[in-house]
Chains A and B, each alone.
Chain A
Amino acid sequence: MFCTQCGANNADTAAICAQCGRNLQAVTPAVPSQATGVILPPGTTVQNYLVFAILATVFCCLPAGIPAIVYAAQVNGKLQAGDLAGAQMASKNAKMWCLISLGVGLGVVALYALLIMVGVLSGLHQNR
């Protein structure tokens, strides 16, 4: 089927346009999504937190950032398949892993600041 917004050719079973993300199921409500039977309202998007997942991976803490990216991919994959509930679940997981990353990152910064303070204090002590 052709997307009504950008004209891209999509598979007939696609829930949203691969090109622009427009909800195709709502445009043709006669064919409800196979996965859930739920018709997504037009313009439905589910936050995938991809930007934050990449930031977490590159700046915070590698091990927690990778699952966040994997879940971000899952959000868009489930949206492509018309599985809104699944996409929202994956979105929650992506957010959780971003927050874990942030927590670990802030923990490292706090620990480092503490070590520096201890170092400075012991330095003062030795100079006396």
Chain B
Amino acid sequence: MLRRDENRLLAAMLAAFAVGVMMLRVFDPATSGIFPPCPVRYLTGWYCPGCGSLRAIHQLLHGNLRAAWAMNPLTVVLLPFLTYGLASSALFEIRGHGLPQPFLRAVWIRALCAAIILFGIARNLPLHPFHLLAPGTMLHL
């Protein structure tokens, strides 16, 4: 019984994921209002490390790597790894074992965490090389 509920939950999550990807392909978060704004940006006025990630994925789904990079380079860099990790988790739930994954030493995970935070700070700085990291700025080069 429990197993069946888990299967339903998994199927629902996969379906929600597919719907989300399709909506991101059809609607551009930059122009349509159906995606909520980033709460951090809304409340504080600052860009968070994830600001522009939905717009970046929308551009990627249309094959525009350059526009995606301008929206959020961090997302473009991380997305292949995240996709692999998600696929591994989904396969683990479906067939009991995931994809091969290297063991990451803690220091690398901490470095990644620091990189995400520094990226978030840098894109808010009104100084020349850093402000290019704010969503969309590189489109106007």
A residues with a Cβ closer than 8 A to B are 16-21, 48, 50-51, 54-55, 57-63, 66, 69-70, 72-74, 76-77, 79-80, 104, 108-109, 111-112, 116
Contact = CB atoms under 8 A, between A and B. Distances in A.
Interface of B: 33-34, 36-37, 39-40, 48-50, 53-54, 74-75, 78, 81-82, 85-86, 88-89, 102-106, 109-110, 112-113, 116-117, 120
Contacts of B112: 54, 69
Nearest to B37: A112
Interface of A: prevailing SS: helix
Contacts of A69: 109, 112-113, 116
B82 A51 contact: yes
Given A55-B82, A76-B104, A108-B36, 17 more contacts: A16-B103, A19-B102, A50-B104, A50-B109, A57-B116, A59-B54, A61-B39, A62-B49, A63-B40, A69-B112, A69-B113, A73-B109, A73-B110, A74-B106, A76-B103, A77-B106, A116-B33
Given A21-B102, A61-B40, A62-B50, A51 B89 contact: yes
Given A62-B120, A108-B39, A80 B113 contact: no
A72 B106 CA distance: 8
Nearest to A70: B113
Contacts of A59: 50, 53-54
Contacts of B40: 61-63
Given A72-B109, A73-B109, A109-B36, A66 B117 contact: yes
